[in-house]
Amino acid sequence: MGSRKAVTLAVYRLDLGVGAKEFAKEVYRLAAEAGPSVASVVPLPAKPLRDLLAGRKDYSSYRRVVNSLTDRVSAVVGSERVYVGPAAMRYGRNTFLSVVEAVSRSEVSRKFVKFGPEFKGYVPRSPVVDVRGVSVCFLLLDDLFYPEVSRYCAESGCSTLIGVVPPVAELDPDLVILAARMRAYENSASVVVVGGYSREYSTPTVVVKRDGSLADVAEDSRPEVLEIQLSGDRVERPRSEVVRSYYAKTIRALNSLREFSS
């Protein structure tokens, strides 16, 4: 396979504990300073989601806030593709946390969740998004801790895993880094963790090479944009639809067990 031109990914590291207005101002400031990029990933603030879970906002109010933030982000971030998340999406009785393409508001990945104090669950489907020849698969929160999800992405043809892991879930930063390195090594895929921070908690922003070695880690509580070069090249390996189907069934079974035990 010939070498493909690298794609610049802009990852926003932000204070996710602030209100919507402060968040939008910071995104605007950083976007004005950022260099050109093909794609950007902007984690959404945690407060609207926490308010929804705590019952301080109903779902309609929450969606209005998220839609407004998504519109603001898509208006000021000058990338060809802009992805935001996690956003709670409700379909009938089911609720998902999703990564959303900001301009179209279409989901590119979703994670089944139960409302409650924890965001446990598994991705029921992880579509591969093509960004100028780079095959990207989005994960959410603690998906990096479950090898089946990353393997499902790898069997679907992705060369880069992007985990959106804001400090909504109180995950150990060292374990986040270790999990990212393990998923990269196991799947011969680049891994990017899109973290963030609040007054109480922080999640590192991490870039891992395909061999599992760390390329960059940002853990400071200061806003910045990390510019990452993603290559469309990937290790060629035989892929089997049977194996992919196996991982999809495993994930569905894990979801069923979680729903039964909740």
70-83: per-residue pLDDT in tens? Answer: 999 999 999 999 99
Q: Is residue 158 part of a domain?
A: yes
Give φ, ψ of 89 to 5 degrees. Answer: -125, 130
- pTM for the model: 0.86
> Reduced to 3 states, what is the DSSP secondary structure of residue 230?
strand
Give the residue numbers spanning the domain of 64: 7-261
Rounded Cα distance, 38 and 36, in Å: 7
Count how many domains the chain has.
1
Residue 120 has pLDDT above 90, yes or no: no
Amino acid symbol at 60: S
Q: Residues 167, 197: contact at Cβ < 8 Å? A: yes
Report which of 39, 27, 31, 144 is spatially closest to residue 81, judged by C-alpha positions: 39
- Give 3's contacts (C-beta < 8 A, 6+ positions apart): 231, 233
Residue 244 sits at the vertex; the CA angle it makes with 43 and 179, to the nearest 5 degrees, is 45
Q: Is residue 95 part of a domain?
A: yes
Q: What is the pLDDT of residues 154-177, one digit of tens each?
A: 888 889 999 999 887 778 999 999
Q: Is residue 49 part of a domain?
A: yes
Q: Is residue 222 part of a domain?
A: yes
**Residue 179 banded pLDDT, cuts 50, 70, 90:** very high
Q: Is residue 165 part of a domain?
A: yes
**Residue 207 banded pLDDT, cuts 50, 70, 90:** very high
CATH number of the domain bearing residue 31: 3.60.110.10
Poorest-confidence range of 199-208, 214-223, 251-260? 251-260
Q: Is residue 1 part of a domain?
A: no
Q: Is residue 2 part of a domain?
A: no
Q: Is residue 202 part of a domain?
A: yes
Residue 169 is predicted with a pLDDT of: 74
Q: Residues 205, 165: contact at Cβ < 8 Å? A: no
Q: What is the pLDDT of residues 216-257, one digit of tens each?
A: 999 999 999 999 999 766 555 556 666 767 666 766 666 555
Rounded Cα distance, 77 and 101, in Å: 12
Give φ, ψ of 241 to 5 degrees. Answer: -65, -30
Residue 259 is predicted with a pLDDT of: 42
